[in-house]
Structure 1
Amino acid sequence: MPLLKKAIGLGCALLLLHCSNAWRRGEVAVLHDIRDVMLKEKNSFFYIDTAAYPRHDCTLPIGVFDSGTGGLTVLDAIVRLDAFDNDDHRMDEDGDGRRDFQSERFIYFGDQANMPYGEYASENNLPLLIEHIFKDLQFLLGNRYYATAQSRSPSTDKSPVKAVVIACNTATAYGKEAIERFLEAANLPIKVIGVIDAGVTGALDYYAPSADGTIAVMATPGTVSSNGYPQALRARMAALGYRGRIQLFQQPGFGLAGAIDGAAEYISPQAVSPRSGYQGPSFSHPQAAIDSVLLHRYGFDWSGHHMLYDGELSRPRALQINSIDNYIAYNLLSLLEQLRKAKVRQPLKVIILGCTHYPFYLNVFKARLAYFYNYQEKGDYLYRPYMAETIHLVDPAVRTAWELYDYLRAEQLFNAGDQPAGEFYFSVANRDNPEVECDETGNFTWNYKYGRRAGTIQEYVKNVPFSQSSLSIEILDRLKKTIPATYELIDRFSKENLKMSGIPAADR
């Protein structure tokens, strides 16, 4: 993976300014890499005592991280999996009526303060992205968290983990191999599971080894620019002996993951007109332009301020997308325009949902695909020649869950508890750090989020237990409806776990 190695190598080669907690203590900064800090700087907040780390302890929880809430779709696939016999651990297509991870504990972390990760590549700041990924890893391995955003000192009773699931395609693309090397150097026998290989394997299931076909990947701009999926597809086809010609198209979903997580740069339920600070597709976006010539094809919903614009509807100006459905419409049409212009011979049969946020809106993707399949101009079906009648939407989460199960079985790491349990944490801006730059909502400004330099190793964020204030009401309602099994774990954590004792009951 030349591009990934180049990007990761850039992050490794930088001489990084280490000021761990220097803003508190007035220390003189020294040069360090975040990985060195984790392994060597015993006085740092980010230090991990690897010699004392528990090894081969089946009672430890499984760690899962993402840049926001999208990884909860992966955790939900893990929690709900019933593809094995729980007595002998052999695969059973019909399941045995018992969830395969029914006795496991989980720790979920969403780096909400720094999301979405998919934009760091387009902002030319991959070293900062890689630093975030390693801080996510450090949180899962370590024992520190803040009881609330207002806490001045961290609590130290969080458990380490026995396996790590990177429930983020962008973090998998840029961080998985680097994390594996780090853990090997630290002599920590911890399995790291990503989502990209799972997505590719799931897509190839729909093709015979000799078949030709067309596959698409819809992912964040960062995942697309990493070329992680094309490289993984070629490797997997070679390993499995596939001889057919598979064309792969990628569509970068500018703003979609951020909109799903309610990031103000992409979506605002209160907005009634175009607003400053918007970063999503527009007429003038240099990488995600809304094509005015194709405006009638997108099928946008113009009601309820779901599209923001100046002027008349017939000739809108300063156009901005302001609903998740419209983001999906924009990105699907952009993908289909790629196929139409390429005049693909094999119709699109499989779309890999290469961002863990996207499966929340599986039904919207299906409805929009049906709309475009039946779309006509002057009596001709414009996109039908390039689309299979049934397009399979591949969510990598299920195969990711299978890989995790295989690992626990091989290493005899299944827990013997009686029911699953979870702890859920999100990052928030650390307002006690005077260097942090926040907007009026308390979130990082765009320039600070994506523009600050990697290497100033300090606590930009506080990782706190999930509470009602962590997410909007709309997102909470979506989680309750789309991933009820995981929402039940979140609810139980909020109401019963002692780590929530510092949060008022009404805010849990």
Structure 2
Amino acid sequence: MEDYLIMRSTLLQLAIWIACWMAGRIDAQQSSPAGLDHLIAHAPKSPSLAAWTFDPSDLRQDLRQLPIGVFDSGIGGLTVLEAILGLDAYNNDTLQPGADGRKDFEGESFVYLGDQANMPYGNYPAAGQIDYLRELILKDAIFLLGRRYWPDTNSTEPVFTKQPVKAIAIGCNTATAYGLTDINSALKTWNLPVFAIGVVQAGARGVVQLPDAVIGHESSIAVLATVGTCRSEAYPRAIQQALGQAGRRQPAILQKGFVDLAAAIEGDPQVLARNSVQQIVHRDIREMLESHKQSGSGQPISTVILGCTHFPLVKEQIINTLRDLRELKEEGQYPYQSLIAESIHVVDPAEWTARELFRSLALARLRAASTDQQSGSEPSIDFFISAPNPRCPSVQLGPDAGLDPSYKIARQPGQLTVEDTIVVPLQLDQIPAGSLNLIRHQLPHVWSGMKRQNDQ
């Protein structure tokens, strides 16, 4: 039965690769910038002591008991980790689809990185800093592959006790759109038996699972994402490719780039001083509907893709806003009622990413061996976060003690001797109270893991 699933997974992985190659904005035909090539050459080191390096010998052994790595530009990727931790979509013994009452990642351990210091990733493309963004994304992967981190921001030297990972799940749509191809290319260059997956193609496959009555010529799909993800055109291409391969009809696809919603969810004080999360959601969705109306396409929005991993944390606000605007009456008219379907279907790519991760681990025969003692036990999770490096002489800080926004966006790739941010274990007091409240109430598996780490 395992061979059957592996054969099916092989075909699925081939289809995924083709879709990624055809749909991705940054593909194998586009040459890497010099800074990225420099980083790829710099990273494999034995011993691995410098920043942004890893020891390849750590990954030339049986990898099954190593952890799975997940990263994002902040806390948004925690929604992907939550979906992974809570998934029960397969039989753990036969590997066939179907819940068996046991978590699918039972026996696995995890390392999570939130690159908080450099977020939001979605702003770099708009500033013409795609090359630097690609470097940041690859650095995230290198951190997960290595052992190096700093005990805290006051430490004078790093330590090397983190476990390297056997697989990487990119819990960020912008990082998937701009960096998945780079990571897979680097893994191939380094000849590592490690794989990486992203959320965009997983989200597109979630659309394929919707019935014909929901998607088609008479309806529209709305992709809600960051400006950077929308600029990449990754979702329209991936959706069209996935539907085309399935022989399905092609609905209209519209995108809305939210400039500051992710930062507001992260608790950015400068953003929240101007607008609340709810005000941002209402403003941007109304802008999307106005643009949709002006386009004259007329197809009502029947499906919403949460194209930023932060957005599931405000899913209720998004759906309620759409419902409220559908019923909004102004001067005796309902300006948006014809543009919003009565029933809205929501696609959260996080769940589909979790499913793909399970299948990919089975295909690569990298699933951890589960024991009776592990059944029902809490998984081991190490949470890390990036922070400004107080020892870096060139670093520039803003009034909130984070990187100065102008400095952050003006940095150039290839400066591998400048470690202006460092990675440290996450502490609960590093997360804004509003964001922490969302995690506590909406991500129970993640919250449990965070509490265990902070109680140690």
TM-score normalized by structure 1?
Answer: 0.80
Equivalence for 2:227: 221
Q: 1:81 to 1:342 in 2, by over 3 A?
A: same
Matched, 1:486 2:440: no
Equivalence for 1:335: 288
Deviation at 1:440, TM superposition (A): 2.9
Amino acid at match of 1:247: A
Report if aligned partners of 2:58, 2:164 keep a CA contact under 8 Å in 1: no
Q: Deviations over 1:132-182 (max 9, x none)?
A: 101101110000111111111111000001110000000000000111111
Equivalence for 1:149: 153
Equivalent residue in structure 1 for 2:34, among 14, 33, 36: 14
Q: Percent identity?
A: 35
Alignment of 1:33-432 (within 5 A): 33-39=38-44, 44-92=50-98, 95-208=99-212, 211-212=216-217, 213-242=219-248, 244-268=249-273, 320=274, 322-415=275-368, 416=370, 418=374, 419=377, 420-432=379-391
SS in 1 for 2:435: helix
How far apart in 1 are the matches of 2:353 and 2:35?
Answer: 35
How far apart in 1 are the matches of 2:454 and 2:124?
Answer: 32
How far apart in 2 are the matches of 1:90 and 1:52?
Answer: 32
Deviation at 1:9, TM superposition (A): 4.3
Matched, 1:468 2:428: yes
Equivalent residue in structure 1 for 2:403, among 427, 444, 454: 444
How far apart in 2 are the matches of 1:393 and 1:372?
Answer: 17
Larger helix share, 1 or 2: 2
Report if aligned partners of 1:37, 1:44 keep a CA contact under 8 Å in 2: no
Deviation at 1:441, TM superposition (A): 2.4
Q: 1:49 to 1:8 in 2, by over 3 A?
A: farther
SS in 2 for 1:389: strand
Structure index of larger Rg: 1
How far apart in 1 are the matches of 2:353 and 2:438?
Answer: 23
Report if aligned partners of 1:343, 1:386 keep a CA contact under 8 Å in 2: no
Report if aligned partners of 2:26, 2:179 keep a CA contact under 8 Å in 1: no
How far apart in 1 are the matches of 2:161 and 2:49?
Answer: 18
Q: 1:467 to 1:266 in 2, by over 3 A?
A: same
- Unaligned stretches of 5+ in structure 1? 17-31, 269-319, 497-508
SS in 2 for 1:406: helix
Report if aligned partners of 2:144, 2:165 keep a CA contact under 8 Å in 1: yes
Amino acid at match of 1:479: I
Report if aligned partners of 2:395, 2:403 keep a CA contact under 8 Å in 1: yes
Report if aligned partners of 1:350, 1:391 keep a CA contact under 8 Å in 2: yes
Q: 1:204 to 1:6 in 2, by over 3 A?
A: closer
Report if aligned partners of 1:50, 1:188 keep a CA contact under 8 Å in 2: yes
Q: Deviations over 1:27-65 (max 9, x none)?
A: xxxxx7222211369663222222442444211100000
Q: Deviations over 1:286-342 (max 9, x none)?
A: xxxxxxxxxxxxxxxxxxxxxxxxxxxxxxxxxx4x211111111111111122112
How far apart in 1 are the matches of 2:440 and 2:160?
Answer: 30
TM-score normalized by structure 2?
Answer: 0.89
SS in 2 for 1:440: coil
Report if aligned partners of 1:7, 1:174 keep a CA contact under 8 Å in 2: no
How far apart in 2 are the matches of 1:81 and 1:355?
Answer: 20
How far apart in 1 are the matches of 2:269 and 2:28?
Answer: 28
Amino acid at match of 2:451: D
How far apart in 2 are the matches of 1:5 and 1:250?
Answer: 19
Q: 1:217 to 1:2 in 2, by over 3 A?
A: closer
Report if aligned partners of 2:220, 2:302 keep a CA contact under 8 Å in 1: yes
Report if aligned partners of 2:112, 2:383 keep a CA contact under 8 Å in 1: yes
Amino acid at match of 1:34: L
Q: 1:128 to 1:8 in 2, by over 3 A?
A: farther
Equivalence for 2:5: none
RMSD (Å) for aligned C-alpha atoms: 2.0
Report if aligned partners of 2:90, 2:97 keep a CA contact under 8 Å in 1: yes
How far apart in 1 are the matches of 2:35 and 2:450?
Answer: 40
SS in 2 for 1:184: helix
Amino acid at match of 2:452: R
Q: 1:441 to 1:390 in 2, by over 3 A?
A: same
Alignment: residue pair count = 425
How far apart in 2 are the matches of 1:6 and 1:181?
Answer: 10
Report if aligned partners of 2:224, 2:306 keep a CA contact under 8 Å in 1: yes
Q: Deviations over 1:61-93 (max 9, x none)?
A: 00000000000000000000111122222111x
Amino acid at match of 1:379: G
Deviation at 1:469, TM superposition (A): 2.8
Equivalence for 1:455: 414
Report if aligned partners of 2:67, 2:163 keep a CA contact under 8 Å in 1: yes
How far apart in 1 are the matches of 2:399 and 2:216?
Answer: 55
Report if aligned partners of 1:198, 1:396 keep a CA contact under 8 Å in 2: yes
Deviation at 1:189, TM superposition (A): 1.6
